[in-house]
């Protein structure tokens, strides 16, 4: 499974730790940056390219990290086809995938430690969308919202 990972300065250290753990566990990891610690960098510069790759299906699952995880989540969800959530507990790590087909997990590099983050990542990556009719129906409604928002933001 190919995993994408991205972080700004607030998640830089956690990103490096998680990328190494993922590679050690046999995952193919594509790093979308930051590639060096720059205190003034901006999370959209790294999270949006990752989110675009997830939306296009180039990357199956994405991990986005900033200081709190909130900004990374906000930026990721601006990309149509991305279903990202800030995760801080094991139930949401699997339920978000099983019920909502979450394809990006966001973490707070300054609020969630490595051990807990690694546990959450493993749960996220091992979960599978359940494809129940009610879950698919809900995702179709979300897709309609994305289409409406695209049409509204790009008037003819």
Please tell me which residue in 66, 73, 82, 123 is annotated as part of the active site.
66
d(CA 51, CA 127): 19
**Measuring CA to CA, which residue among 109, 120, 95 is closest to residue 46?**
109
Please report the pLDDT score of residue 150 as a whole number. Answer: 63
* pLDDT tens-digit profile, the chain (156 residues): 899 999 999 999 999 999 999 999 999 999 999 999 999 999 999 999 999 999 999 999 999 999 999 999 999 999 999 999 999 999 999 999 999 999 999 999 999 999 999 999 999 999 999 877 877 777 777 777 777 766 656 666
Q: Is residue 115 part of a domain?
A: yes
Give me the sheet containing 84-86, strands edge to edge.
28-31, 2-7, 61-66, 104-108, 84-86
Is-catalytic flag, 106? no
- List pLDDT tens digits, range 35-69: 999 999 999 999 999 999 999 999 999 999 999 99
Q: Is residue 140 part of a domain?
A: no
Q: Which letter does DSSP use for residue 30 in this model?
A: E
Q: Is residue 155 part of a domain?
A: no
**Measuring CA to CA, which residue among 9, 14, 2, 18 is closest to residue 45?**
9
Q: Print the domain residue range for 30.
A: 2-130
Q: Is residue 156 part of a domain?
A: no
Q: Is residue 136 part of a domain?
A: no
Q: Is residue 144 part of a domain?
A: no
**Measuring CA to CA, which residue among 83, 115, 106 is closest to residue 6?**
106
Q: Is residue 59 part of a domain?
A: yes
57: left (phi over 0), alpha (psi -120 to 50) or beta: left
Please report the pLDDT score of residue 47 as a whole number. Answer: 98
CATH number (domain holding residue 86): 3.40.1400.10
Q: Are 108 and 70 in contact (CB under 8 A)?
A: yes
Structure tokens belonging to residue 48 = 């949006």
- List pLDDT tens digits, range 127-136: 999 877 877 7
Domain count for the chain: 1
| Cβ within 8 Å of residue 51, ≥6 positions away | 62, 64, 75, 76, 78, 79, 82, 84, 104
Give the total residue count for the chain: 156
Q: Is residue 48 part of a domain?
A: yes
């Amino acid at each position: 499974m190919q995993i994408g990972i991205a972080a700004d300065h607030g998640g830089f250290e956690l990103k490096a730790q998680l990328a190494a753990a993922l590679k050690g566990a046999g995952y193919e990891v594509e790093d979308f940056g930051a590639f060096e610690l720059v205190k003034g960098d901006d999370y959209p510069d790294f999270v949006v390219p990752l989110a675009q790759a997830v939306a296009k299906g180039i990357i199956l699952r994405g991990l986005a990290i900033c200081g709190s995880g909130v900004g990374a989540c906000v930026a990721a969800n601006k990309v149509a086809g991305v279903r990202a959530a800030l995760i801080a507990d094991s139930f949401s790590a699997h339920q978000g995938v099983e019920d909502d087909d979450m394809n990006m997990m966001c973490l707070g590099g300054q609020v969630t430690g490595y051990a807990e983050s690694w546990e959450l990542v493993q749960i996220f990556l091992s979960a599978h969308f359940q494809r129940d009719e009610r879950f698919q129906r809900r995702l179709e409604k979300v897709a309609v919202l994305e289409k409406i928002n695209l049409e509204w933001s790009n008037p003819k």
